């Protein structure tokens, strides 16, 4: 594996959430999801009630995570692109996710899991990024 891929996996292992993107009936969508890294693959936990897993299962997806809002002077962004498949994680993998959210949009959270087999891994760095406030006055 190239060094950038190892570094990308290391960075993803240090952040719990990212965004998965795909298309649904030719319309793009993105949703926030919890992830873990297992054997250089991503395992995602989503809320079944959104039904995004139906559009993602068997589709080529892009998964992105970063530290952009961390306030760090050096920021990074990692993108995994590959095919997602609905899977049943092992008990050990479930444990790595930690506590499941109680509610999703006011209804009980029902977890569904997807594994992404990466075909492309992209890592970008921005060095000495000026940090601005999150809100700008009008």
Kindly compute the dihedral angle of the four CA atoms of residues 2, 41, 20, 119, in this order, to the nearest 10 degrees: 50
Residue 108 pLDDT: 97
Give the integer Cα–Cα distance in Å for 67 and 70. Answer: 5
Q: Write out the two tokens for 116.
A: 């992404």
Residue 40 pLDDT: 84
111 and 96 in contact (C-beta within 8 Å)? no
Residue 136 pLDDT: 56
Q: Indicate whether 2 pLDDT > 70.
A: no
**Nearest to residue 72, comparing CAs of 129, 136, 16, 125?**
129
Residue 66 pLDDT: 94
- Residue 6 φ then ψ, to 5°: -60, -45
pLDDT in tens, 29-44: 899 999 999 988 999 9
pLDDT in tens, 60-113: 999 999 998 887 888 999 999 999 999 999 999 999 999 999 999 999 999 999
Residue 73 pLDDT: 83
Q: Indicate whether 135 pLDDT > 80.
A: no
User: Span 16-36, mean pLDDT?
Assistant: 91
């Amino acid at each position: 594996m190239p060094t950038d891929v190892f570094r990308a996996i290391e960075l993803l292992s240090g952040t719990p959430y990212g965004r998965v993107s795909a298309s649904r009936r030719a319309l793009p969508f993105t949703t926030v999801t919890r992830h873990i890294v297992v054997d250089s693959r991503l395992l995602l936990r989503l809320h079944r009630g959104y039904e995004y897993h139906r559009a993602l299962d068997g589709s080529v997806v892009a998964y992105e995570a970063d530290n952009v809002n961390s306030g760090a002077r050096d920021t990074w962004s990692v993108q995994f692109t590959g095919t997602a498949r609905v899977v049943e994680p092992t008990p050990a993998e479930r444990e790595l996710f930690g506590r499941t959210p109680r509610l999703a949009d006011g209804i009980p959270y029902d977890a569904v899991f997807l594994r992404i087999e990466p075909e492309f891994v992209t890592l970008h760095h921005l060095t000495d990024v000026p940090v601005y406030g999150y809100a700008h006055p009008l």
